[in-house]
Amino acid sequence: MNPVASLELRSVDLQSPRNNQAHHTQEMGLKRLIVRRGQPFMLQLHFNRPFHQGTDHITFIAETGPAPMELSGTRATFSLTQTRQGNVWSASDFTIDSNLLSVSLFTPSNAVIGSYTLKIETSQGQGYSSTHSLGTFFLLFNPWSTEDDVYLPSETLLREYIMMDYGFVYKGQERFITSWPWNYGQFEEDIIDICFEILNKSLYFLENPSKDCSQRSDVVYICRVVSAMINSNDDNGVLQGNWGEDYSLGVSPLEWNGSVAILRQWSARGGKPVKYGQCWVFAGVMCTVMRCLGVPTRIVSSFRSAHNVDGNLTLDTYYDRNAEMLSTPKRDKIWNFHVWNECWMIRKDLPPGYNGWQVLDPTPQETSSGLFCCGPASVRAIREGDVHLPYDTPFVYAEVNADEVIWLFGDGQVQEILAHNTSSIGKNISTKMVGSDQHQNITSSYKYPEGSPEERSVFMKASKKMLGSRRASSPFLDLLGSRDSQDQPAQLQLHLARTPEWGQDLLLKLHARRVPNRTHPRGPIKLQVRFCAQALLHEGDTQGPLWRQIVHLNLDFGEEIEWPLLLPYINYRNKLTDEKLIRVSGIAEVEETERSILVLKDISLKPPHLSIEVSGRAEVGKALRVHISFTNTQTVALSHCTMVLEGSGLIRGQLSNDLGTLAAGHTIQIQLDLYPFKAGHRQLQVLISSNEVKEIKGYKDISVAAAGAS
């Protein structure tokens, strides 16, 4: 009797279209196998003869990283069995159809993520064995799996925080929040390769590749590596920060529409940092990377966000008697707004109760374990003041809770406290509302209501832990526990009389009201109010004065006065930064008490409006006519205008046009055809930039039908 021929592999079908669909990775393409851990996937093996269960033996070998080892979790060997063996690598539930073997492969829910090679070893009894390559596959985190540390039990939230490839960054200031569209593009076909390239260029990998890869099963570890690699302060990270005004060697942070162009440029140049980023760019790119890897992620903006270097929970600001905000050598800052990420995960490294959203901040502010990264810090730990819990919780707590002390400075020394604000930091903390283009205020998830007993109690608890022995000798000890407001004979407020638009004069009103106080309970008072306007930089600093005015007021008891103020366009025309932010400060000297009263107003200038319309029905592969209209409502021409269009599933890469100079009052109308290549909900982002105004942005949500759909 002739012996049975050796089992030899003729071909393999990784069934990428079917598997990718089942694993929610079809948007990344159907040619390569991209699966999520903790979930089975099917493949078909075509042999030279039928598989004989009793005599043929098949062992699968999956490997990732430069030196795969079973002990490190980067190599797995597992034999073909009839049923699955639990939360371990397995090949089971097979069927035989002539020479075709269909088999289900399962990866454990705590497997290392990465790019894997897959092989089989075939043998008969103790005899000859041969090895055959089956190909490669990517393994990602699985927020659909109940056993995965990133499990998110809501299909609605998964659509928003994993599958949505566009979103918004919220900028401006607390009373004038502006929405910036951002193209995440995490499903563009090369982005997954770039994400793992980022991991492979981290200092952790370069120092010890095997150890680094073995830790890639841990979402907390991955988050910290990515947070460090998005900035380039320690390594060849993705983005170089620039908070100045000279972007001539790169691209202004305001001129990015999304993450894809940044990631592709970084990869194409061999890992050379891309110029330039600021907080919203860092956070936008990190959101792309984390969603691509399978971690539910969102962008969060906090208005008036503290950068408290020394951890004393107090930030000091100084003004002179002319109401000019003074620069200081201290690195403490109050950002107009700051943008970070939240990632959803189980925190097995923390006591129970701290799962859920965790803060990750890739903007390089302070080091953590020697590298410029931040988090993950549990949002619940921040709310409860549990600042002893890792990672970087004290820093994030201070970002949203620090107290602000404003001083009057003169003759080389501090003269009086103008204000002690316990609720001016961490305002209107916002993220994109699920299923909507609107923003959602999530401040209550970070802290109790300002001024409530719970909020002050948490603040005192956190300050004791953060200040320790320093607290007893702190000159701010009384301030930290104090809730007394200053006793002043008048209340001052600044209001805008109309919407502030760039290129127009700014109209404000000073509202003054005489109120009783201990030292001067009744009778008239005289005020001399000095006003100063300064360009406000994103990180909270100011430039030199661009406008001054002095107002004299007489206030009788109970009287209220409104005084108009005009800040002409000519005063700020060439003196603002690209952010177009102005701080108007006023300091009133009360003749009767020789005390000073501070009044502040931050103004965010509204850029010109951009209109985007589409004609007809959007369908994959068919021309979609887009109409873009822009009117220069300014009193001056806009020079060197350029337009950039971007949108995942609508445009491959970017479309750019030079528009030249647009005269004051003139309108430009552009028509072009797009050819959508992906069905579903898409967003077209349009940026028009000029020498005078950098951030004229618009967007259009577009629903694209599948090809041939009726």
* Nearest partner of 608 among 552, 665, 681, 649, judged by Cα: 665
The catalytic residue among 195, 223, 279, 292 is 279
> If phi over 0 gives left and psi between -120 and 50 gives alpha, with beta otherwise, what is residue 435?
left
Instruction: Report the 10 Å Cβ neighbour count for 625.
Output: 12
Buried b (16+ CB within 10 A) or exposed e, 517-538: beebeeeebebebbbbbbbbbb
Residue 242 sits at the vertex; the CA angle it makes with 238 and 247, to the nearest 5 degrees, is: 100
Cα separation, 23 vs 622, in Å, equals: 28
CB 145 within 8 A of CB 109: yes
Judge whether 578 counts as a catalytic residue: no
Rounded Cα distance, 276 and 293, in Å: 24
Amino acid identity at 343: C
Do 148 and 109 form a contact (C-beta atoms < 8 A)?
A: yes
Which DSSP helix (H) or strand (E) runs through 2?
Answer: none
338 included as an active-site residue: yes
Q: Computed over its alpha carbons, how large is the radius of gyration of the chain?
A: 30
Q: Report the alpha-carbon angle 655-178-380, nearest 5.
A: 110
* Distance separating alpha carbons of residues 263 and 261, to the nearest angstrom: 6
Candidate list 338, 420, 439, 520, residue with the active-site label: 338
Q: Which helix (H) or strand (E) holds 581?
A: strand 581-590
CA angle 370, 374, 376 (to 5 degrees): 120
The residues facing 38 across adjacent strands are none
Q: Distance between alpha carbon 542 and the CA centroid of its chain, in Å?
A: 25
Q: Could you write out the DSSP letters of every residue in 583-649?
A: EEEEEEEETTTTEEEEEEEEEEPBPPPEEEEEES--BTTS-EEEEEEEE--SSSPEEEEEEEEE-TT
**CB contact set of 334 (below 8 Å; sequence gap of 6+):** 304, 305, 306, 307, 315, 317, 404, 425, 540
Joined together, the tokens standing for residue 706 give 């599948």
Active site residue 374: no
Alpha carbon distance 118, 116 (integer Å)? 6
Query: HSE of 704 in the Cβ direction (CA atoms, 13 Å)?
Result: 26
CA distance 315 to 301: 20
**Nearest by Cα to 618 from 674, 698, 670:** 674
The catalytic residue among 56, 165, 235, 361 is 361
Chain-centroid distance, C-alpha 54: 55
User: What is the Cα–Cα distance from 62 to 19, expressed in whole angstroms?
Assistant: 17
Closest by Cα among 516, 514, 530 to 487: 516
Please tell me whether residue 456 adopts helix, strand or coil conformation. helix
> What amino acid positions are annotated as catalytic residues?
279, 338, 361
